[in-house]
Structure 1
């Protein structure tokens, strides 16, 4: 039934319909608009709800929509760097449920994990604070700053961007805007090791922006780390040994997001003019369980020649800078953007 429905919708789409660059009407909460064009490729195609997440900026302002997760109650929890509401909670219709804040001026990363039967969050602020909280915002723990514990030299830069939590409770911190290390702590926040660092070798990073636990193979759980300026994800063992690289030419990817058998990511920039990082050139990329790109909503179709992925760039000027994606249980995608004129999240409805 699902495939039949998708085929019907695709065939019903107006051929060649132009996708309008989204306009945002702030101050009024609008009903979602459906685009006339399907975006994406293969079995991963979507309708665009441009105004799904729009709220009143006078009462619920944002600067950048950095990351979003969905909790076990089906609520969509988003972190922003607006101190009036660091966290915004939506239902799946786009209705505002609640907001809360910890006055973080550079709130950036948001990780959801289970502790027993309870949903928990890690909130990462680029200025160094990493807070473990309940989904209602109660602070339970703060990770130590590595400059204050001897893990870093005093002159080493530390600007963390993301966390991930392993099945045993170990916590991994990506220092993506600092020294490009991945730091590993136990569940109580005690430091274990650091690995990576900045450089051009395979086991090193250039903007280690994201980190996630890849548990799609329960017998071989690994760590996926972003190396954004390398246009890649790099795979490691849980004790920090480099394994392999997923090269995504043209795509300055943000954090990897696992959902079911697939891997999703927001692409903050692509390479357009002169093959340089180009402003307002984002899209979304989707990889299958073999780490092959199968769809690029908003971007060019993935092409492999002799097994090598070719350059991927923005195709439709829908997005500015895609900073994160969240996948709901209907396989819809919610896109958070950085540096996008204070726009709220966009919903991509799976068809």
Structure 2
């Protein structure tokens, strides 16, 4: 039954109708319980399971739930910056399977790549300036060089990597999102190839290059999507680092783009609310279709376009604090990781 439903959803055409500029109220709706509430828009609506990932904080504590990936065994692997258990592995019911990792003081980025028949992880720790490749059990396979040590950065440049993306040929792209906003490209053996981006306001530049992802939705035109969070945008580049275009997401301080089937998902860490300033505890989730058009904002305002231009998007439900990542399972349920959310565990959004 689930497979039939998924097939139906994949074939459903997604569209967003044009509308007038919305009238915004800056009062956040208080909804203390959402277990029976449906959030989202169009064909992307979800039932909230706020307690799904709750664990015993005395034995499995967290500080921030930064990112989560789904491995080939159907396990949900999450990275935190709590060194008692940097990696927490769940089953899809929310039950704890195991934990590992005690050295990633600012464990942040988590990317899964299938290398032959094996899953491998790429972990970033911005405070340590480290990017490591590990097995799913935590054995370190490789550590990428610090750009300062190989002459790519001068000594006065900051290097605080936040995310990685792995190309089909094994090339590794590192976003220096908390450092100098470059995207650094290495080959599969960790040898430096090039850097591009860097901080600025020109189209080809980035500001808070928080995330990076391989966009392989068109297998004949694989590109790189990079977050420019302060710009409320994703910027697209060739795999050789040539700027192509910008997806502007007004109001949304997006984290990394997550590609699943024909869609892009992202956690929105803040939205531009009162006086168009970045407001604390104003996060939501945003979902784009195959044409890079926003079709749903779970926890946020309904996406509206006027004359083809996306209008300002804001939080409208006090469910999320600061959404940091979205993980999607085979039934198109979402698992939301949050930063600075009072040490809360991930929330599940069940597709309805």
CA contact (8 A) 1:130 1:143 kept: yes
Distance in 2 (CA, whole Å) between partners of 1:249 and 1:19 is 24
Distance in 1 (CA, whole Å) between partners of 2:174 and 2:214 is 12
Match of residue 25 from structure 1: none
CA contact (8 A) 1:19 1:37 kept: no
Q: Secondary structure at the match of 1:148?
A: helix
Match of residue 48 from structure 2: 48
Number of aligned positions between the proteins: 329
- Kindly indicate whether residue 303 of structure 2 is the aligned counterpart of residue 292 of structure 1: no
CA contact (8 A) 2:31 2:317 kept: no
- Kindly indicate whether residue 181 of structure 2 is the aligned counterpart of residue 180 of structure 1: yes
TM-score of the superposed pair, with normalisation by structure 1:
0.92
Match of residue 240 from structure 1: 241
The Cα shift of 1:347 comes to 0.1
Which of 17, 20, 23 pairs up with 2:31?
20
Match of residue 11 from structure 1: none
CA contact (8 A) 1:19 1:36 kept: no
Match of residue 150 from structure 2: 149
The Cα shift of 1:346 comes to 0.1
Distance in 2 (CA, whole Å) between partners of 1:96 and 1:283 is 26
The Cα shift of 1:36 comes to 2.4
Match of residue 65 from structure 1: 65
The Cα shift of 1:129 comes to 1.2
Counting only pairs closer than 5 Å after superposition, residues 34-113 of structure 1 correspond to structure 2 as 35-113=35-113
Which of 2, 5, 11 pairs up with 1:2?
5
Structure 1's consecutive aligned runs of 4 or more residues displaced over 3 angstroms after TM superposition are: none
The Cα shift of 1:20 comes to 2.5
TM-score of the superposed pair, with normalisation by structure 2:
0.91
Distance in 2 (CA, whole Å) between partners of 1:102 and 1:190 is 27
Q: What do the CA deviations read for 1:291-347 (whole angstroms, capped 9, x no partner)?
A: 000000000000000000000000101000000000000000000000000000000
Distance in 2 (CA, whole Å) between partners of 1:63 and 1:286 is 26
Structure 1 alignment gaps of length 5 or more? 7-17, 23-33
Distance in 2 (CA, whole Å) between partners of 1:174 and 1:188 is 18
Q: Secondary structure at the match of 1:200?
A: coil
Match of residue 191 from structure 2: 190
Distance in 2 (CA, whole Å) between partners of 1:346 and 1:89 is 15
Distance in 1 (CA, whole Å) between partners of 2:320 and 2:144 is 34
Q: Secondary structure at the match of 2:148?
A: coil
Structure 2 alignment gaps of length 5 or more? 10-28
Distance in 2 (CA, whole Å) between partners of 1:144 and 1:189 is 7
